[in-house]
Amino acid sequence: MKAEPYNACFQEFIWPWHMPSRQDYEDIVRSAGFSEFVVLEEKADRFFSDADEMIRWLDQPTLVPFMDALPETYKSDFRSKAVQAMLLKTQQADGTCFETFRRIKVTAVK
């Protein structure tokens, strides 16, 4: 996104995901008037079985909002670079791809 020639395409880009912290969730639940609540952060890391599975996850839904911001002439190259960067970061010796995921679980009583 920051590299040429893509950076100009993302000047007005609005990040498509809202990822509040555990503390943010606690504040929201508290301000909504819940008397009892528990907010847990869960590790939901996963192994993709191979590079193809990781690439399918990147293609849908991960890259969709970014591709929408690019002209046709940049899309293929941008996707290719994003895929290569993710594979370099996540691919293990056995061919699986490891990615960290976090999940917030909220239980509350009003």
**6-109: what fold?**
Rossmann fold (3.40.50)
Q: What is the pLDDT of residue 35?
A: 87
Q: What is the pLDDT of residue 65?
A: 95
Q: Residues for the chain: how many in total?
A: 110
**Integer Rg of the chain from CA:** 18
Q: What is the pLDDT of residue 52?
A: 98
Q: What is the block-wise mean pLDDT of the chain (110 residues), using blocks of 10 residues?
A: 94 91 95 95 96 96 94 97 97 97 93
Q: What is the pLDDT of residue 51?
A: 98
Q: What is the pLDDT of residue 110?
A: 84
Whole-model pTM: value is 0.80
Specify whether the CB–CB gap between 52 and 91 falls below 8 A.
no
Tell me the C-alpha distance between 6 and 17, whole Å.
Answer: 20
Domain ranges of the chain: 6-109
